[in-house]
Amino acid sequence: MAAAARRPWRPSAAPFAGALLVLLVAASAPAAGEGVFAPSADPDASRAAWHAALAAGADPAQLDLLREGSRLLAGARPDLVAGWRRDAEAQARAELRLVRRRDLAAFVPAGAPADTPPLLLRQEEGVWRIDLVQLEKSYAPQPPGSRRIASDSDNPFGPLVPAPRRVPGFRFGEVDLLGEPLPDAIARLRPQKDAAAQTRLAEILLRNAWLVDEALDRFEAVARADTRSYEPTRDFAWLAWALDRPERAIPLAEQWKPFSFDELSKLHARRGDAERAQDYARRHLLQFLAEKGKIVPAPPSDADLGREPPPSARAVPH
C-alpha cells in the first residue's frame, strides 16, 4: 500500500455550497452526467466532479461518475442523497489526503476533523468512479436509534481506510457477474421464478447494489417456498440479523423445529425483546441439561403443542 499524494490536499475553492463557479457549472451541465461531471483518469478530478455535481443538484442516479451499483442505489434510495451531500460538504472543509492501492483510492482526513467520512473510488476502464455501495456497507453512520449492522468482512477498502467498529463481520463482497453488466444481470434474473435464480438475484441486489430491503424480500420468498429444508430459513434469519432486520425473520424461524432455542434467543435479543430472549435462553439451558442427563425433561405443555388444554385443566373462576 502506498500513498499517492503525501502532501495533504485542501480544497482551493471557497465554501462548498453557493460558489458562483458551481452555479455556472450547474447551468451548463448535461443531464446525463457528461462533461464536467464525467469520471476522470485523475482521482482528484473525479472527486471534484462529484462534489460539484452534488452542489449543483444533479441526479446521482444519472451520473456515469458513479459505479453501476452506486447508480442503482441512488435511484432506489433518493433519501440517501442528502447524507452524501453533507459528507461532500464536510470533505470540502477538511484537509484530505489521497491513498491508493492498485484500482482502489480513498480521500481520507489528513487531520482534524478526524471523523470526516471518506470518499471511496475504484478505477474502471481507465477512469476513477465513486463507490457509494461500499461506503454504505462499511462506513455510513447508522440512522438514529438503530442498532449496528454487521461489518463487511470483504471490504476491499479496509487496508486503506479503517471502518467503524460494528457487530461481528458478515461476508458482503460483490457477486462476480462474469463480465455481464449489472443492470443486464438484474433484468435477466427478475422474471425467473426458480429458487436458484431468485437467490442469485437477491445476492446481487444486496452485495452489488446494497438494496437491502428488496434483497431480503427475495430471500424471504425463497425461504417460505421451501417447505422441505430449513437451510434457506436459517440463512435468511442470520442475514436479517446481520442487517439489523431481525423482526423480519423471527415469525418464519419460529415455525421450524430445527431452529434451536439459542438461535431464537439471539434473534429476539437483536430485536430488543429481552423477555422473549430470556425465555428462549431458559429453554435452551433446560434442553441442554436434559440432553446431558442432568434433569428429566417435562412433557410438552398444551401451549407448546399449539392446542387448547382440556376442560379439566383450565382455570376455574372463583
Question: What would the pLDDT profile of 229-252 be if each residue is shown by its tens digit?
Answer: 878 888 888 888 888 888 888 888
pLDDT of residue 313: 43
pLDDT of residue 70: 97
pLDDT of residue 29: 43
Taking the C-alpha atoms of 37, 39, 43 and 45 in order, what is their torsion angle to the nearest 10 degrees?
Answer: -30
Read off the pLDDT of each residue in 150-159 and give the average, rounded to a whole number: 89
Work out the pLDDT band at 266, boundaries 50, 70, 90.
confident
Predicted confidence (pLDDT) at residue 19 exceeds the cutoff of 70:
no
Q: How many residues would you count in the chain?
A: 318
Look over the chain and give the mean of its residue pLDDT values, rounded to a whole number.
80
Work out the pLDDT band at 301, boundaries 50, 70, 90.
low
Predicted confidence (pLDDT) at residue 283 exceeds the cutoff of 70:
yes
Cβ atoms of residues 257 and 245 within 8 Å: no
pLDDT tens string 44-58? 999 999 999 999 999
**pTM score:** 0.76
**Which are the contacts of 53, defined by CB distance < 8 A and separation ≥ 6?**
29, 33, 37, 60, 63, 65
Read off the pLDDT of each residue in 73-79 and give the average, rounded to a whole number: 95
**Which are the contacts of 262, defined by CB distance < 8 A and separation ≥ 6?**
280, 281, 284
- Side-chain-side CA neighbours of residue 266 (13 Å): 12
Read off the pLDDT of each residue in 28-39 and give the average, rounded to a whole number: 59
Work out the pLDDT band at 316, boundaries 50, 70, 90.
very low
Predicted confidence (pLDDT) at residue 130 exceeds the cutoff of 70:
yes
- Strands 167-170, 150-152: pairing kind: parallel
Cis before 113 (ω within 30): yes
- Write the DSSP symbol of residue 248: H
Work out the pLDDT band at 194, boundaries 50, 70, 90.
very high
